[in-house]
Amino acid sequence: MSKNRAYFPSLVDRFLTYVKIDTQADEKSETRPSTTKQHDMLDLLVKELQALGLEEVEKTDYSAVMATLLANLPPDFPAPDKIPTVGFIAHVDTYASTPGANVKPTIVENYQGQKIVLNEEKEMVLDPEVDEGLKNLIGNDIIHTDGTTLLGADDKAGVAEIMDAVTELACNPDIHHGEIRVAFTVDEEIGRGADEFDLEHFRAKYSYTMDGSVLGEVEDETFCADSATVKITGYDVHPGYAKDKMVNAIRVASEIVGSMQTDKLPETTENKQGYLHAIEIKGNVGEVEITFLVRDFEESGLKTLEDILEGLCKDAEKKFPGVKVEMSIKEYYRNMKYELDKHPMVMEVARRAMRGLGIEPITRPIRGGTDGSRLTLMGMPTPNIFAGGENFHSVKEYVSIQTMDKARDVILEISKLWAKAAADGEI
């Protein structure tokens, strides 16, 4: 028996509830999830999925919430066993380096191109001359914060869209679809979202992350990503007696960062250009540790950038006798395009869904990564679809309600199209 849609929150109400829950990740933590407060949202999602009557609702031992919406097909459907189980995935955590507590969402209705004041005291505004995405949202309703925290549209917009879509499917028996699995992950922002993700247990043949930005995005190519840690060991001694003895690790760190090629930084690169990005320096005269992000669309490009960084470390050792500079590399994720190209129907269905809704698909490389990057390479093709947020990770983050509505509609359309493709013998 279908449920009454009126009994459940709207997409916007869900989103406003979710963004007020602090789920900021912590890259220094070794627990899973990295912050216990992520359980607050996970536990809420479990209750909401159970209230919808979905099957197999659970929070796994690796802190992913999963659930099943059973297939809904007409009796004469010709090929029910040929419809692949399809998954939709979003992450509950927010960016580790921007405040995520006490989010105060505000809605600007029927936006008309004006500057939006976020915080008068800080003289912080959203200006369409700077934030050009606003120019495409004339007439939309915009949600933003007070400029002291991020909004959390990355990726609570995706969570809300998936929840609203499965609510519609659970309440509307006229929409025919195969089995659908949903998953909400933790710690995506610190590169651990797919850690321990059990593909066999999830059992979706194909999935989609709802973790993109502007209307129409459907992405099948991401960065390859590593991190590099440079540990500098100097020699600290009383500065009054330091002549020919002290080796100041802080000066060495400054030399390394200051010598980075200016055309290989995130602020000077675009499109498919890779970069090195120093994101944290900590330490003292005796020892300093620098953390770098290394990004490129090709593994060979990663190696080139890492060789450049290693060269800077060796040059610093030569310039500062007595210093010891060590570099270590940690692999995060790899470009998912090469695997997705082996499964063209996954992208084809997404594009058909958008075009059927009057949305022109935008396919371009993501200068970042998603859970789908790793899940694809683990064996479950998982491209990324727009969720509507812009200025991710920033206190100027915002989202269009109308774009979120359309993202929800894309989920519904994808669900229908996989069933139709099976009925038409395409798969």
The neighbour count for residue 322, using CB atoms within 10 Å, is: 12
Q: Is the pLDDT of residue 59 over 80?
A: yes
Task: Identify whether residues 235 and 201 lie together within a single domain.
Answer: no
Phi-psi sector, 203: left (phi>0), alpha (psi -120 to 50), beta: left
Residue 93 known to be catalytic = yes
- pLDDT tops 90 at residue 81: no
Give the CATH number for residue 351.
3.40.630.10
39 and 58 together in one domain: yes
Instruction: With CA atoms as reference, report the closest residue to 253 among 280, 273, 215, 226.
Output: 280
SS3 236: coil
Same structural domain, 100 and 215: yes
Same domain, 32 and 86: yes
Picking from 333, 367, 384, the residue at the C-terminal end of a domain is 333
Would you say 295 and 369 are in contact if contact means Cβ atoms under 8 Å apart?
no
Please state at what angle helix 401-423 crosses helix 11-19, rounded to 10 degrees: 120
Cα 116 to Cα 100, 194, 203, 299, 392: the distances in Å are 21, 37, 45, 41, 17
CA dihedral 40, 46, 50, 54 (to 10 degrees): 150
Is 257 found in the same domain as 192?
no
Q: Compute the distance between CA of residue 132 and CA of residue 213 in angstroms, rounded to an integer.
A: 13
pLDDT tens, 112-164? 999 999 999 888 999 999 999 999 999 999 999 999 999 999 999 999 999 99
The answer to whether residue 127 is catalytic is no
Domain count along the chain: 2
Tell which residue, 168, 158, 227, has the closest CA to residue 372. Answer: 158
Specify whether 81 is located in the same domain as 169. yes
| Whether residue 102 is found in the same domain as residue 237 | no
Judgement on whether residues 52 and 182 belong to the same structural domain of the protein: yes
Tell me the pLDDT tens digit for each residue of 171-185.
999 999 999 999 999
Q: How confident is the model at residue 1 (pLDDT cuts 50, 70, 90)?
A: low
What value does the mean pLDDT take over residues 94-123? 96
Instruction: Verify that 61 and 202 share a domain, yes or no.
Output: yes
Report the mean per-residue pLDDT for the chain.
Answer: 95
Question: Any idea what the Cα angle at residue 51 is, between residues 12 and 154, rounded to 5°?
Answer: 35
Do 137 and 126 share a structural domain?
yes
| Contact predicate 410/357, CB 8 Å | yes
Please provide the size of the chain in residues.
427
pLDDT tens by residue, 184-234: 999 999 989 999 999 999 999 999 999 999 999 999 999 999 999 999 999
Q: Which of these three, 285, 305, 333, is where a domain ends?
A: 333
Q: Are 359 and 406 in contact (CB under 8 A)?
A: yes
333-363 pLDDT tens trace: 889 998 999 999 999 999 999 999 999 999 9
Residue 333: what pLDDT? 84
187 shares a domain with 92: yes
Structure-model confidence comparison of residues 4 and 396, the more confident one: 396
- pLDDT more than 90, % of the chain: 90
Domain that holds residue 234: 224-333
Q: Which of 48, 93, 189, 220 is catalytic?
A: 93
Domain boundary among 273, 299, 333: 333
Catalytic residue among 146, 188, 220, 221: 188
- Domain with residue 260: its CATH number is 3.30.70.360
- Token pair for 412: 């519904």
Query: Do 248 and 145 have their domain in common?
Result: no
